[in-house]
Structure 1
Amino acid sequence: MAASSDDNDELPSLDLFQDPAGFYPPEKPPSFTTYLMKNGRHINLRLVGHSPLWGHLLWNAGQVVAQYLEENTQQLVQGKNILELGAGAGLPSLVASLLGAKQVVVTDYPDNELIVNLRHNIDLNLAAQDMPNIVAEGFLWGSSADALTAHLEKGSSTFDVLILADILFNHSEHNKLLDTVTGCLKRTSDSVALVFFTPYRPWLLERDLNFFKMARSSGLLVDKIMEQTMDKVMFENDPGDETLRRTVFGYTVKWDL
């Protein structure tokens, strides 16, 4: 028997698929930070509010490799095609773009929020340029790089410089990461992958370093070029040797030609 209109008026309004108010924690808002270049220019960075891919942090290695690019601009930046992997907020790529790179392709995992944020940082810092020399793309390590090399001038299919900053902790992805390095690094003696990292889990340092063993086994030359101990540790309450957890190690990976 159909219910009367009076009966319907007394029934509660139910939506079995609607979560109650406050069921999910509120999204964290983005945060903001500034990097001061040696020439006095400020780079303003927006960091996503939270990311399971760790894109919400400005990692120490990203800052140190940015400084390294500033100190070696003529050799590593000017007139170069540069690719950054796992870029987060994209600091090293922004520095390279401002210092005269020919073309910079800055990438991270193809998560919409991460890529939109990278493009926001590009627009925020490079809007005054008539022809920006930097683009952001989503990219899965080990996959085809055709969409990345499409941004290079005709006849170019590889990059002069690769930037890998604080991404070696992804141990299960080392094979794919190395595939991308060997597939994207131009086969010349001057081409180089800059691999900078901090062992945030010191007890897994050997697994971090295994990437370089794999690189050597693939016929690449690996050299340690620097280490820099930061003033503060990023994660104060984490276990393990604190000095290691605030030290950035820098390596170069090149072709053995």
Structure 2
Amino acid sequence: MALTSRLTLTGPDTNDPEDYLSSSLGIIFPDDVTNQHGDADHGLLYTSPHLPNPLQFSLANVTEEKERHLFSHYLWNSSLVLAELIEAGTLDLSIPWSGLGGKLSEFDVTGLETIELGAGTALPSIMGGLMGSKRVVVTDYPAPEVIKTLKENVLRGVDKKNGVEGRYKLEEVVVEGHGWGELGTELAEGNKNRFDRVLVADCLWMPWQHANLRKSVGWFLREDERARAWVVAGFHTGREKMRGFFDAEKLAEEGLEVERLWERDCDGEEREWVEDRGVEDISVRKRWLAVSVLRRIRKSE
């Protein structure tokens, strides 16, 4: 089943010719896929057969140019992939999977504490909260409109009535602003090395922020051999812009290393990670995402 099949656009109808053209792209270009969803006027419904109710998402109505350039007012395919893996791993579902030798069950969040960086709509965090996470912390760029909408989505989404029966274990939900690499805040100082899982979805398209993002991942991830960071990112802005995040030496500066890194497309097909695939047609590369599992560097025996 296609990755985006669980999404339904909500809100007013539009007569904008651009919208008619956009809706026809799948017919004109059958390999094309939408990788960003919703806008300030049109929210989203996310429907899973494993949740008792659809999840409702509003999108932030950002007006400042700096905030618009962060693109946090959309739901991206990376969030859909990460939510799908969390759901399948926790409920032991059968989905297309190879994971380069890893087990899908490693995405089980039962009883864990999670934090999401650059959350956007926070779908992966909400899915985790409904599947059995114990504590969920959700962060994004500290812009008032972004955080306001994020809080509304998260608090509405993680309501117990939406949880999986017998699995809902949520004890605390926190939604706050966090600028990557800004570690002197109350949030950062009170949660250093606190989390079993750090979630990152579609945050690698800004290479100038890779160092700060690595800093935040290393800061919040628990000092435990079982702790993991899950980083999923699309290639829609080009592979060369996002691949530098995985530089081994720079990850090591934050006490991190790549455990597994592979590529997955919007239909669940998987292949090995390659740093350079040459010229990639945009309609093809939009279909693919990098999926990675980071861990603490293991000490030599």
TM-score if structure 1 supplies the norm length?
A: 0.76
Change (3 A) 1:181 1:57: same
Counterparts of 1:131 and 1:85, CA distance in 2: 19
Query: Does 2:258 align with 1:247?
Result: no
Question: Which is greater in Rg?
Answer: 1
Could you tell me whether the CA contact under 8 Å between 2:202 and 2:234 is conserved in 1? Answer: yes
Structure 2 Cα separation of the partners of residues 69 and 128 of structure 1: 18
Q: Which residue of 2 aligns with 1:176?
A: 212
SS in 1 for 2:295: strand
Q: Say if 2:72 is the partner of 1:55.
A: yes
Give ranges in structure 2 of 5+ residues lacking alignment: 1-38, 63-67, 91-104, 162-168, 268-279
Asked if residue 120 in structure 1 is aligned to residue 131 in structure 2, the reply is no
Match of 1:104 in 2: 136
Deviation at 1:185, TM superposition (A): 0.8
Q: Which amino acid aligns with 2:224?
A: T
Q: Distance in 2 between matches of 1:215 and 1:181?
A: 10
* Contact 2:260–2:292, Cα closer than 8 Å, also in 1: yes
Q: Would the aligned equivalents of 1:149 and 1:157 in 2 still touch at CA under 8 Å?
A: no
- Structure 1 partner of 2:29: none
Distance 1:59 1:242, change over 3 A: same
SS in structure 2 of the partner of residue 197 of structure 1: strand
Alpha-carbon distance, 1:125 to partner: 2.1
The amino acid of 1:117's aligned partner reads T
Q: Give the structure-2-normalised TM-score.
A: 0.65
CA distance in 1, matches of 2:255, 2:177: 28
Please state whether the residue corresponding to 1:227 is helix, strand or coil: strand
Number of residue pairs aligned between Structure 1 and Structure 2: 218
**CA distance in 2 between partners of 1:45 and 1:60 (Å):** 15
Structure 1, unaligned runs of 5 or more: 1-27, 232-238
Percentage of pairs with the same residue: 28
Aligned-residue offset at 1:241: 3.1
CA shift, 1:123, in A, is 2.8
Displacement of 1:59 in angstroms is: 0.3
Judging changes above 3 Å, is the alpha-carbon distance between structure 1 residues 252 and 126 closer, same or farther for their aligned structure 2 residues? closer
Which protein, 1 or 2, shows the higher relative CO under an 8 Å CA cutoff with sep ≥ 6? Answer: 2
Deviation at 1:48, TM superposition (A): 1.7
**Of the candidates 237, 242, 248, which is equivalent to residue 201 of structure 1?**
237
Distance 1:216 1:243, change over 3 A: farther
Asked if the contact 2:260/2:294 (under 8 Å) is kept, the reply is no
Deviates more, 1:74-83 or 1:127-136: 127-136
Matched residue, 1:8:
none
Change (3 A) 1:224 1:243: farther
Q: Does 1:230 align with 2:247?
A: no
Q: State whether residues 111 and 132 of structure 2, in contact with CA within 8 Å, keep that contact through their aligned partners in structure 1.
A: yes
- Please tell me whether the aligned partners of residues 142 and 179 of structure 2 are also in contact (alpha carbons under 8 angstroms): yes
Where does residue 33 of structure 1 map in the other structure? 44
Q: Counterpart of 2:240 in structure 1: which amino acid?
A: E
Counterpart residue identity of residue 123, structure 2: L
**Per-residue CA shift, 1:5-60, capped at 9, x if unaligned?**
xxxxxxxxxxxxxxxxxxxxxxx844211222341432111112343321221100
Deviation at residue 117 of structure 1 after TM alignment? 0.4
2:83 aligned counterpart, secondary structure: helix
Deviation at residue 206 of structure 1 after TM alignment: 2.6
Which one is further off, 129-138 or 159-168? 129-138
- The alpha-carbon deviation at position 181 of structure 1 amounts to 1.2
Q: How does 1:206-221 map to 2 (within 5 A)?
A: 206-213=240-247, 214-216=250-252, 218-221=254-257
**SS of the counterpart of 1:164?**
strand
User: 2:180 maps to which residue?
Assistant: 141
Partner Cα distance (2:120, 2:155) in 1:
15
Structure 2: distance between partners of 1:179 and 1:151: 16
Is the counterpart of residue 66 in structure 1 residue 106 in structure 2? Answer: no
Match 1:158 to one of 190, 194, 210 = 194
Measured after TM superposition, the shift of residue 124 of structure 1 is 2.0
CA distance in structure 2 between the partners assigned to 1:173 and 1:55 by the alignment: 15
Judging changes above 3 Å, is the alpha-carbon distance between structure 1 residues 40 and 127 closer, same or farther for their aligned structure 2 residues?
closer
